Structure formats: structure tokens, C-alpha cells
Amino acid sequence: MWQALHEKLGDQGLTVITVAMDADPEAARPFIEDAEPAHPSLIDRDHVVAGLFNMVNVPQAVWIDEDGRVVRPVETAGMGENFRHGLDRETGAMAPEAVAKNDAIRNTYLAALQDWAENGSSSRHVLDPAQARARVALPDANIEEAHVHFRLAQALLRRGRADEAAAPVERARELHPGSWSIWRQTAAKNPRGLATHPEFFARVDAAPVGGFYAPVDMDGMPE
């Protein structure tokens, strides 16, 4: 999907940069090779980008203009929470109504990106500095500390020291309970590599509405 976007909007000066928050590049490889992207597809094994921008889940996105200025701070990249009630957890199938709702959200987001590509700074989706600043989620000391413990855990895991990694993983989760990325990256995975352990759904169910994918506050965005 991102490659199609990149192709479509590239001539209008928009570059898609995807960042895989994967500990192991080989986990990301099949998806990237399948997409055959012409855009930069980066691997962020230590979740550095999440730390810099204070992201908490995937997919989240930032819009940055030609001068390196953030014109839309971190937000959910066109996803909805319809899977919470629309997903059959046994079969993995999504109810048609939920699919339609997700599609509506995604299509609105993609149309906004197109509008930005075409109209640049005069796009109604480009936020002025005051609006943008109001939307920035600010990190606190606990969040910064969580990223440090997470990074230590990742370094230990890369060295085959999983036992030692358990404590910093736990510490990272404790300090940054709002980070789904930290939790999901370190959670038990099913054979397909997805963190769909029953524990994951329990955690999702316990989250408030908008606590997994915060709704995108965007002109024309359906609920």
C-alpha cells in the first residue's frame, strides 16, 4: 500500500519512508521484498524513531514538510479500532461492516495525503504551528527511561542473552504502559510471528476506546 502511494505521489514531491519497528530485519524482510518498494524501507530494531517522536504503536505516522518541519505530529496512520469487535479471534476473519469502516478511515487518510502532495502547505490537512504543537504528545521522564531499558533488552536479545533481557523488558513495560510497541515487540508470538497471544487481546479489551489506535483528528475523518 505504501509503495502504491509512493509511486502515485512521488512526482508531486512526496516521499514515503517506512520504518519497521522490528528487532530482527529478517522478520521484516519478507514483507518488504514482497512489496518491492522504491521508497526507503528502514529497519528500527531499537525503536529509535518511536523514542524520538514519542510513538506508542504501529502504524503511526508523521508528516514532515520540505524544510524538515512537522506539519502533522504523530497520529494513527489511517487505522481504526474496528477489529476490537469486528474480528473473529478464532478464525482471524473480519466482519464486513468492520472492514467497511476501516476502509473508510484508511481512504480518508490516503485522500488527505494526496491532498497534501498536490497542494503542499495550502492543504487544509497541514496544521499551523499552534495546532501542531497542541497535538504533540510529550514524553515524560518515565517514558525516556522506558526507552533506555527497552534498548538494553534489545541489545541483550541480539546477543542471545534472553534471560538477562527479561528484567529490562519488564521495567520498560512498567515505565511506559501506554506503549503498545514495547509490549508487542516483547510479547510471545504465534507461529506467524504476530503478537496475538490471548494476553494481547486481554490487554486490548482492557484498554479504553481509542486506547489502541487513537482516532485520527482529521477533516472528513469518519468515526
Binding part of the chain for other proteins, among 59-67, 98-106, 203-211, 212-220 by CB under 8 A, reads 59-67
Give the residue carrying C-alpha cell 474496528: 82
Residue among 100 and 167 whose Cβ is closer to other proteins: 167
Min separation Cβ 20 and other proteins, Å: 6
| Interaction between residue 138 and other proteins (CB under 8 A) | yes
Residue with cell 538494553: 152
Selected binder of other proteins within 8, 65, 99, 166 (CB under 8 A) = 65
How far, in Å, CA of 209 to CA of 50, rounded? Answer: 22
Instruction: Tell me, rounded to whole angstroms, the distance of Cα 128 from its chain centroid.
Output: 23
* 84, 94 Cβ separation under 8 angstroms: no
Element (H, E) at 141: helix 141-158
Question: Considering only residues 98, 113, 157, 169, which one is a binding residue for other proteins as defined by CB under 8 A?
Answer: 113
Binds other proteins by CB under 8 A, chosen from 58, 98, 105, 157:
58
Of the residues 46, 86, 101, 216, which one makes contact with other proteins according to CB under 8 A? 46
